[in-house]
């Protein structure tokens, strides 16, 4: 069993939640701007989670792939399943946005 199976995103709720669009649009005044901010943050989280997973799976990488090694590596399977059960990046980003944990700014018209 893997002892260090914690991710910094494991504290989020993994279930789907119906969101109020008015509440989501409130910080920016426009639902499309809010969705754009959330989607950019979700992309950042997805990249971060993928890098974290790849670094943990790198310990199991070998130059020679034996069929026996592929089927015997239960720890690698457990790590992958753990990351599959984590909340999706869009859910995490939406929670961060609604809790005002995301810093964003708008470009000026002149820029």
Confirm whether 2 is domain-assigned: no
Confirm whether 110 is domain-assigned: no
Confirm whether 88 is domain-assigned: yes
So what's the pLDDT on residue 95?
A: 92
Confirm whether 34 is domain-assigned: yes
DSSP 82: H
DSSP 89: H
Q: What is the CA radius of gyration of the chain?
A: 19
- Number of domains within the chain: 1
CA gap 2, 59 in Å, rounded:
12
- Across the 111 residues of the chain, what is the mean pLDDT of every consecutive 10-residue run? 57 70 94 96 96 86 62 78 91 94 81 53
So what's the pLDDT on residue 15?
A: 66
Quick check: 97 and 18 in contact, CB under 8 A?
no
Confirm whether 104 is domain-assigned: no
CA gap 98, 86 in Å, rounded:
19
Confirm whether 82 is domain-assigned: yes
DSSP 87: P
Confirm whether 84 is domain-assigned: yes
**Domain range for 51:** 29-98
Supply the pTM of this predicted model. 0.76
Per-residue tokens: 6: 């914690």
CA gap 13, 87 in Å, rounded:
6
So what's the pLDDT on residue 1?
A: 38
């Amino acid at each position: 069993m893997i002892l260090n199976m914690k991710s910094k995103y494991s504290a989020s709720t993994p279930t789907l939640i119906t969101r109020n669009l008015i509440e989501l649009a409130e910080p920016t005044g426009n639902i499309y701007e809010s969705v754009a901010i959330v989607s950019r943050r979700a992309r950042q989280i997805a990249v971060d989670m993928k890098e974290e997973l790849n670094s943990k799976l790198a310990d199991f990488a070998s130059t020679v792939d034996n069929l026996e090694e592929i089927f015997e590596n239960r720890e690698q399977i457990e790590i992958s399943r753990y990351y599959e059960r984590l909340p999706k990046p869009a859910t995490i980003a939406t929670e961060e946005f609604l809790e005002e944990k995301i810093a964003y700014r708008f470009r000026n018209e002149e820029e």
